[in-house]
Structure 1
């Protein structure tokens, strides 16, 4: 099993009983017999793409025929582990070739050649160069640990993976649960949360793209980023790849805020969907060779479709996924003209700056229209409500030795006034432009405060009059209060 920038396998054959031209004809026929797609043919070789299967996303096969030698190479199209598939591809091609060699006479070869020449779906190619195949096979990622080492054409991807892992390690070292972090920890480390983000903590739009909700969440996103990075970064280059990750990440976070009012969102998946969106846009143009484009479009489409459908499960922020994907598609199409002119450095720089400016401006516009200002007010109001509630409830923590006078003083000084202030908080919140769930919750809190005020007044009256006459009514208030607390838990 090889691990490479794209896992690959090389094989050489020697032949003496056929001419190079006849050998090439038989090899092309052998590839077709294996149901491979021939993408291009030159005088001395061809390129083909294997079929997708449960064990691989398909592989690129290059065959070069020299005077008495055939050099073959099978390389995965972004798959990290080939599980021996590349080797089996070349062994299978050799078996089919040898089978045809034993069964096909001169007339048969002429017929095969005529059929191949008449195939308009196969693009002609320049003479294929056999130099550097061995060096290429030796290059790329040598082992598992080289996944984390920046190299030419694979520079930004490992840095992003390393940064995500580093932040997760720091979270773990600080005591955050590596399997299922609690909400407080996620917020402390920069997760996206509308009441906080809209309160001025805009940096959460970025930091949330590097915070993960458990080790499995991290591993899945790291693999998805590795896969798309290997495929896409060589096409985009360092600056565009990093810009695409950050811009689509911010826009996916923005989408999450727009559609989710009380969801804590974290993870690189929004930005990763953005990268897949960029690549999908490119795959629907002629930037990438036709046969390779078809296979990649299918594999990337299946990946995106499956994960979008899976995202409708409870607890998954599909708004971020869709926001990232859509922004990636738009960005990909916008960059197509510049990708056709890779030598124009000024054009490349302009495209990166334009993408950043337009993306950030769009995010700001969406958030401004999203009515998040009142959401931003909600969090500090609730903090005040909780503080007032704690102050009012001190009466129940008083020692058993406290006198009636001390109870009355506590009720008059902190109990009833605190509940009245808390009631004013709920009345202010009722005037805000908030989601229905927020307003429903607030109405319950308002009723909760009113019941507490009436209950405290009866408790005071019962103490002053030294009677149990109000106990039954107090119990009724307490039952209604318990019902409200239960309803709040269900919202």
Structure 2
């Protein structure tokens, strides 16, 4: 690079050039560049030559930008906006990060994720940070959540902030330190979010971006060649941005824990970089020192992750998986309610076998969950009820399978008693979740008759089966009106007929099935 100081530098002795280089902060950037050019021309060995050269180039470019007027035409402004997305020499990592976030958002939108208010299940499915999954083997969510956003507004706000801080910070610290700091701050934000609330669905680049703001503010404060008069404008501006966003984050729906975690790590990492560089901005850092710094932070992250209590996360994960298996296992029962009979019962055997296997998986997982030492009292009680319920379901399915294999009726007295007990467990679980006092039912007679018949027969009230009491058809009587004819403690037995069996015995009026009730005889 040619400048007006080249002639002067060419007349200096070697020791004079080295002296000027050592006091480079006191000279104009053009003068330092001329001295460096002369040193390189003479092949003089000088300490920190490349680092000083980069700083002088940055200072020179900054001065050139200040001297050039801002674009005024629409085309100039458009070019300026496009530049935000194009990698350049000292603005390389930032546009790549912006473009990556934008592309991921577009791809998810094309896949059906809502662009304004995505569903939590969709975010979890594509990699959001969610305690029940992140803490039970899916640690990769700590990283992937940094590139997901909860709607287009969230995305645009974050990308604007990233472009602002990236344009200022990346030229000062270089590509390598910028991307390393960005990822580390993002991971710190994800970990902080887990510590604060394991049930929150967390996504976004905010933790990483807050970290970059904190890093820049710390480096400006610690930079030794700038006076406070030169620093205070930037420091106050950065403090204002950070404080405003933290206060705004106090409202519901914003993950301030992630913001704070990223911010704290950014402040610490910025301080480490300044200490390593002698308290001035630098792009070149010793590779070994960088590896050690990153390794220590990653070890600290692993330690923090392992200290997060996982009992609640495992409990929530278990409930989710339990529900999925229960839904699959109950499918065969829904099918059997439609047209199961002694004639076609065999076609339901595969479904029953699958159901038995699913109930068995739930039993094993519930037993393992009972062994967790720090499970809450209410959670432990819920697991106990679920385990009893699941064991009853497995027994019911096993008994039904064996009866079908033997071509025997499966809705007999033992099966009905199991269904009573299953209904009892469901009621206990509902009472527990709703905070009601437990009201266990020791037998069928403890339930209201409509509820008891629903639990025993599997018929819903709106299905309107035909009721038959001691051989007499009760025309126009539903489950809600049966109490006018018999009470629970007067029932000896209940037989359910469905499909062809009901039609063959009672005709078209039993198209919705029939319930035969036998009363106790004195």
1:317-396 map, 5 Å: 317-340=255-278, 347-372=285-310, 375=313, 379=317, 382-383=320-321, 386-388=324-326, 390-392=328-330, 394-396=332-334
In structure 2, relative to structure 1, the CA distance for the partners of 1:276 and 1:470 (3 Å cut) is closer
CA–CA distance in 1 between the matches of 2:429 and 2:170? 59
CA–CA distance in 1 between the matches of 2:423 and 2:326? 23
Question: Which residue is equivalent to 1:308?
Answer: 246
CA–CA distance in 1 between the matches of 2:369 and 2:294? 36
Q: Is the 8 A contact 2:363 2:391 kept in 1?
A: no
Matched, 1:180 2:117: yes
Greater alpha carbon shift after TM alignment, 284-293 vs 416-425: 416-425
Quote the offset at 1:378 in angstroms. Answer: 6.6
Q: Is the 8 A contact 1:392 1:418 kept in 2?
A: no
1:15-42: CA deviations, max 9, x gaps?
A: xxxxxxxxxxxxxxxxxxxxxxxxxxx9
Matched, 1:285 2:215: no
Picking from 394, 411, 422, the partner of 1:463 is: 411
Quote the offset at 1:269 in angstroms. Answer: 0.3
For residue 222 of structure 2, give the secondary structure of its aligned residue in structure 1: coil
Q: Is the 8 A contact 1:245 1:274 kept in 2?
A: yes
CA–CA distance in 1 between the matches of 2:375 and 2:209? 29
CA–CA distance in 1 between the matches of 2:118 and 2:388? 36
Quote the offset at 1:319 in angstroms. Answer: 1.9
Q: TM-score by structure 2 length?
A: 0.57
Question: Which residue is equivalent to 1:229?
Answer: 166
In structure 2, relative to structure 1, the CA distance for the partners of 1:443 and 1:423 (3 Å cut) is farther
Greater alpha carbon shift after TM alignment, 158-167 vs 419-428: 419-428
In structure 2, relative to structure 1, the CA distance for the partners of 1:239 and 1:404 (3 Å cut) is same
**Over aligned residue pairs, what C-alpha RMSD do you find?**
4.3
Quote the offset at 1:161 in angstroms. Answer: 1.1
Matched, 1:296 2:234: yes
Matched, 1:432 2:372: yes
1:291-324: CA deviations, max 9, x gaps?
A: 2421222222122122223323333222211111
Q: Is the 8 A contact 2:92 2:175 kept in 1?
A: yes
Q: TM-score by structure 1 length?
A: 0.60
CA–CA distance in 2 between the matches of 1:314 and 1:356? 34
Quote the offset at 1:215 in angstroms. Answer: 0.5
CA–CA distance in 1 between the matches of 2:254 and 2:375? 20
In structure 2, relative to structure 1, the CA distance for the partners of 1:221 and 1:440 (3 Å cut) is farther
CA–CA distance in 1 between the matches of 2:257 and 2:370? 27
CA–CA distance in 1 between the matches of 2:64 and 2:283? 29
1:119-159: CA deviations, max 9, x gaps?
A: xxxxxxxxxx9988544757999422222122333222222
Question: Which residue is equivalent to 1:121?
Answer: none
Higher relative contact order (CA 8 A, sep 6+): 1
Question: Which residue is equivalent to 1:168?
Answer: 105
Quote the offset at 1:440 in angstroms. Answer: 3.7
CA–CA distance in 1 between the matches of 2:331 and 2:261? 44
Matched, 1:266 2:203: yes
For residue 412 of structure 2, give the secondary structure of its aligned residue in structure 1: helix
1:41-440 map, 5 Å: 134-135=67-68, 137=70, 142-287=79-224, 288-340=226-278, 347-372=285-310, 375=313, 379=317, 382-383=320-321, 386-388=324-326, 390-392=328-330, 394-403=332-341, 422-433=362-373, 436=376, 440=378
* Bigger helix fraction: 2
CA–CA distance in 2 between the matches of 1:425 and 1:374? 14
Q: Is the 8 A contact 1:209 1:266 kept in 2?
A: yes
Quote the offset at 1:173 in angstroms. Answer: 1.5
In structure 2, relative to structure 1, the CA distance for the partners of 1:278 and 1:469 (3 Å cut) is closer
Larger Rg: 2
Quote the offset at 1:406 in angstroms. Answer: 8.0
CA–CA distance in 2 between the matches of 1:177 and 1:335? 41
1:270-303: CA deviations, max 9, x gaps?
A: 1011111112212332444422421222222122
Quote the offset at 1:384 in angstroms. Answer: 5.4
In structure 2, relative to structure 1, the CA distance for the partners of 1:170 and 1:362 (3 Å cut) is same
Structure 2: give runs of 5+ residues left out of the alignment.
1-26, 28-61, 401-408, 437-522
Q: Is the 8 A contact 1:167 1:210 kept in 2?
A: yes
Number of residue pairs matched by the alignment: 358
CA–CA distance in 2 between the matches of 1:380 and 1:417? 17
Structure 1: give runs of 5+ residues left out of the alignment.
1-41, 43-128
Q: Is the 8 A contact 1:274 1:325 kept in 2?
A: yes
In structure 2, relative to structure 1, the CA distance for the partners of 1:310 and 1:158 (3 Å cut) is same
Q: Is the 8 A contact 1:426 1:445 kept in 2?
A: yes
Quote the offset at 1:342 in angstroms. Answer: 6.4
CA–CA distance in 2 between the matches of 1:428 and 1:360? 31
For residue 202 of structure 2, give the secondary structure of its aligned residue in structure 1: coil
In structure 2, relative to structure 1, the CA distance for the partners of 1:196 and 1:466 (3 Å cut) is closer
CA–CA distance in 2 between the matches of 1:362 and 1:185? 31
Greater alpha carbon shift after TM alignment, 174-183 vs 188-197: 188-197
